Amino acid sequence: MARTTPILNHNNTHLLFTFKTPNSHFSSLSSLRLTKHPFSLSPSSLSCSPSCCITRVTTVPVEYAPSAPDFDFHQELSRLKTLRSRLADSNSLRAKLRVIEGDPRVKRFFNSSNNGFSTVLASLSLTPYELFLFKCLVAAGQEHVLGWGFEFVQSEMESVRSSVKSALYALVSMIEKLDVNGEGLGENIGGVALNDEDFKDLKKLLKNLGEIEQFYNCIGGIIGYQIAVLELLAQSSVEMQTTNWSKSIQEHMECQFLEIHAPSGLDLSQNPEYASQAALWGIQGLPNLGEIYPLGGSADRLGLVDPDTGECLPAAMLPYCGRTLLEGLIRDLQAREFLYFKMYGKQCITPVAIMTSSAKNNHERITSLCEKLEWFRRGRSSFLLFEQPVVPAVSVENGQWVIMKPFAPVCKPGGHGVIWKLAHDKGIFKWFYDHGRKGATVRQVSNVVAATDLTLLALAGIGLHHGKKLGFASCKRNLGATEGINVLIEKKNLEGRWAYGLSCIEYTEFDKFGIADGPHSRNRLQAEFPANTNILYVDLPSAELVGSSNSGNSLPGMVLNVKKPITFVDHFGKPHSVSGGRLECTMQNIADSFVNTCPYRYYKGVEDKLDTFVVFNKRRRVTSSAKRKRRLADKSLHQTPDGSLLDILRNAHDLLSQCDIELPEIESNEKYLSSGPPFLILLHPALGPLWEVTRQKFYEGSISKGSELQVEVAEFLWRNVQLDGSLIIEADNIMGSTKIDQNGEPLLQYGHRCGRCKLRNVKVLNEGIDWTFGDNVYWKHDVQRIEACKVVLHGNAEFEATDVILQGNHIFEVPNSYKMKITQGDSGLVVRLDPIEQNMMDSGSWYWEYSIKGTHIQLEMVEL
């Protein structure tokens, strides 16, 4: 029986959340219902839209709401919406200037008789558009950004204040000191000096304002941005809850009935046959797929710093398991392309679109890394980098932009949800079409396990094969995690039609649905919903329709996350922490534009009929992120590099255990904190990436506690190997060799002149890693070794060891075009080095042949 909790009763309007038990009419674990009393509001007072009810309403009881602030949200919103409407009706810049100059706030600021601002503007020689941008800034209530007279006021959380009068005097003094010949600074007048940095800040401000005005044009530019900020802030205010609730319902519900269910979908771990078939669809469809990486986030929680310069670094630059996170993404992609080559004998280079930002020099650093690595030997033309705009952080009190100093608002990336509109604006969709792509997989850089086994391939395979518009890879959600949930939306619109679709609720929005988070919460409903992991399949034409819509739909899932303070350092070097946030969009909420409607209600099986879908797998095969830095005293490994490494090792344990290889158990996280991992196993993804493939390359043996295994070669055989110590196998040509293409760029040729390694009946015994060394950083794979057995394969070199014991410290380095064989002699090891026969130079003396048997991939070793 359902348990219903009344949230608010205002003017006979009842809003109810119903938490449905598993025996409800849906077979889902749980659901959340938001119902409007059928007689509380007349249908004529509401309107309906197809994507109405991913609600952004607040459900905080009135008695617990904060006291009303001095700032009048309703009055300011009314003024700005009127201004936005008039600007939208203006067809030229001149007309827009006339409208903006008629705003009372702009008039007061620019026409004040004691500030001489007309002289300031004339001295700046602004273009009409730049003048328009400054006036939009003032009209939005952000005059303080132009001034020097702000001060930081200390309270429980610091907030930023400013003086408009001082702003005027500062700008006047600045202009008066400009060299009349335009060659730089003039004399110091009035005791105010201006340096080159100030001019750079002013220029940067104009650039930032121009980007906001242009990118957010679909909601009204700078003015629309501020309206969206104030609307989201106002949702939790007493004013909007009590005196304007009906309006809030009209804007945020626009439907008669809303119910939220836990979605159902294919569980890859429980249906291996269909999972294998879906993965095959994904491999076959690889030439139709692109790859999208949203890398623009600031990743402040990682606290990543360049050890040489002390500069803050973006998440993509995190050194993880011996390489940056971005390199890890490309390795995973190349592993899927190598698998495609082995199955079909064709080269497939997937185009990769990367969304960057200016935060922490993100764009420049990622570009520099790609250039340093020669664009991963894929060709420059297979990458397209596009930079997302940064947006101002705002104070939670009244929506004022937070500033570090004059002309320098604190800016952060505006969330990964801007990616769809930005992709349209920057021609990304057309670029994908020019490469013959129909769909794309989307993955975040911090999730290091997203490509494990068949998760990504099955997701893309189902999306392509069934013509879906959007797909989610999901899993069980950890209670208290900073991650959202996937939900099935069911709603009845005002015309009486039923609408269904998969969507997401961000963790920052749980309180708006009356969902508490934490182990002691009375309502732990969110734990029953699966996690949103931001691993997506997207149909490119469908996404383009949303991104090009020139409406708010092109900026899906707009939220204002104020749960974390805005931290920054001012121009005096003083750190500040301000209660505030920034306007963000969430890319996964593009799903809200893919709702299906029907004339009647479904009671089960609706998911099969939707344009959206979800697949599930075990959590550590779907998501494990390196998002935050673990502090020394922190006992939690969740979303840390340490925690994600443990998940990689648990996956390796699961995989190799299926190969009849004995391994030590991985104990609790607490054990890791006290003594490190029980082993280190890092396998190149091209050994699979499907576990079904990898299992045919490994068979029998053991890996003792404290051992290390690193295999960086795709053509590999392990048969009855017993490892007690460190075994490291490296190859120059892991998946193939490099040729120079017609553009003079290096290009990886899959399967051509690969390095190869075979181990049969081998014991590897050495001291291995020094586990007592205090500076070991396991997640970086930065460890001190006492001894190791290392095989280094140059070019197309081959290494074979059969029926031998490799004891102690060894380095076997094999030159290009040679094969090294290790056997056991009467007095020790016998090492034989022979040249590879000329007719085997490209293919090698042996190779794995892949073939499809039903829904499975079968490997057979071919020896020449």
Report yes or no: 441 and 543 within 8 Å, Cβ to Cβ.
Answer: no
How many C-alpha atoms does 129 have within 13 Å on its Cβ side? 8
Q: How far is 659 from 115, CA to CA, in rounded Å? A: 79
Same domain, 536 and 455: yes
Same domain, 224 and 263: no
Q: Strand (E) positions, 126-225?
A: 151-153, 159-161
Report yes or no: 7 and 59 within 8 Å, Cβ to Cβ.
Answer: yes
The per-residue pLDDT for 1 is 36
The per-residue pLDDT for 162 is 41
- Alpha helices by DSSP H, listed for 415-555, are 419-425, 428-434, 455-465, 540-547
Q: How far is 181 from 562, CA to CA, in rounded Å? A: 47
Task: For residue 604, tell me if it sits in a domain.
Answer: yes
Same domain, 216 and 262: no
Cis before 575 (ω within 30): no
Q: How far is 676 from 681, CA to CA, in rounded Å? A: 13
Give the residue from 188, 215, 243 where a domain finishes: 243
Task: For residue 702, tell me if it sits in a domain.
Answer: yes
Tokens matching residue 169: 């005097």
Same domain, 580 and 727: no
Helix orientation angle between 272-284 and 325-344, rounded to the nearest 10 degrees? 90
Q: How far is 62 from 242, CA to CA, in rounded Å? A: 8
Specify the pairing of strand 531-539 against strand 580-581: unpaired
Tokens matching residue 549: 């819509």
CA angle 189, 192, 193 (to 5 degrees): 95
- Look-up of token digits 């130079």: 841
Cis before 689 (ω within 30): yes
Q: How far is 310 from 821, CA to CA, in rounded Å? A: 48
Task: For residue 577, tell me if it sits in a domain.
Answer: yes
Residues ≥6 apart with Cβ < 8 Å to 830: 822, 823, 824
What would the DSSP string read from start to end of 622-647?
T--B--SPPPTT----TTSHHHHHHH
Residues ≥6 apart with Cβ < 8 Å to 53: 34, 252, 253, 254, 255, 258, 489, 491
Same domain, 645 and 762: yes
Q: How far is 721 from 343, CA to CA, in rounded Å? A: 28
**What is the distance in angstroms between the CA of the first residue and the CA of the last residue of the chain?**
69
The per-residue pLDDT for 180 is 38
Q: How far is 263 from 270, CA to CA, in rounded Å? A: 16
329: how many CB neighbours lie within 10 A of its CB? 24
Tokens matching residue 323: 């390489």
Amino acid at 122: A
Q: How far is 39 from 143, CA to CA, in rounded Å? A: 46
Cα distances (Å, whole numbers) of residue 434 to 11, 350, 395, 437, 793 = 57, 12, 44, 7, 38
Q: How far is 249 from 254, CA to CA, in rounded Å? A: 7
Grouped pLDDT means (10 residues each) for the chain, 864 residues = 34 36 33 36 29 31 36 90 96 96 89 57 79 95 73 38 44 45 36 60 92 96 96 68 39 68 94 97 98 86 82 90 96 98 97 93 94 96 96 92 91 93 98 98 96 98 98 90 88 89 87 61 62 97 97 92 83 86 93 94 90 97 90 80 95 98 93 92 98 98 98 98 98 97 93 98 98 95 98 98 97 98 93 97 97 97 96
Among the listed residues 490, 523, 531, 474, the one whose alpha carbon sits nearest the alpha carbon of residue 507: 531
Same domain, 387 and 476: yes
3-state DSSP assignment of residue 514: coil
Same domain, 603 and 650: no
Question: Structural domain of residue 586, as residue ranges?
Answer: 244-510+527-621
**Per the structure, how many domains does the chain have?**
3
CATH number at 437 reads: 3.90.550.10
Same domain, 281 and 390: yes
Dihedrals phi, psi of 239, to nearest 5 degrees:
-60, -50
Specify the pairing of strand 159-161 against strand 151-153: antiparallel
As a 3-state breakdown, the chain gives helix, strand, coil percent values, each rounded to 5, of 35, 30, 40
717: how many CB neighbours lie within 10 A of its CB? 18
Same domain, 710 and 827: yes
Tokens matching residue 70: 């001095």
Same domain, 722 and 607: no
What would the DSSP string read from start to end of 690-744?
SHHHHTTTEEEEEE-TT-EEEEE-SEEEEEEEEEESEEEEEES-SSEEEEE-TTS
Report yes or no: 779 and 626 within 8 Å, Cβ to Cβ.
Answer: yes
Report yes or no: 798 and 822 within 8 Å, Cβ to Cβ.
Answer: no
Same domain, 606 and 617: yes
Residues ≥6 apart with Cβ < 8 Å to 311: 305, 360, 361
Task: For residue 707, tell me if it sits in a domain.
Answer: yes
Task: For residue 26, tell me if it sits in a domain.
Answer: no
Same domain, 568 and 593: yes
Task: For residue 175, tell me if it sits in a domain.
Answer: no
Report yes or no: 560 and 584 within 8 Å, Cβ to Cβ.
Answer: yes
pTM listed for this prediction: 0.86
66: how many CB neighbours lie within 10 A of its CB? 9
3-state DSSP assignment of residue 503: strand
Q: How far is 568 from 448, CA to CA, in rounded Å? A: 29
Q: What is the chain's Cα-based Rg?
A: 30
Task: For residue 46, tell me if it sits in a domain.
Answer: no
Task: For residue 16, tell me if it sits in a domain.
Answer: no
What would the DSSP string read from start to end of 573-599?
S-EEEESEE-EE--GGGGGGG--EEES
Cα distances (Å, whole numbers) of residue 447 to 275, 369, 764 = 22, 19, 33
How many Å separate Cα 392 from the centre of its chain?
Answer: 20
817 φψ region: left (φ > 0), alpha (ψ -120 to 50), beta (else):
left
Report yes or no: 347 and 750 within 8 Å, Cβ to Cβ.
Answer: yes
- Look-up of token digits 């959600």: 477
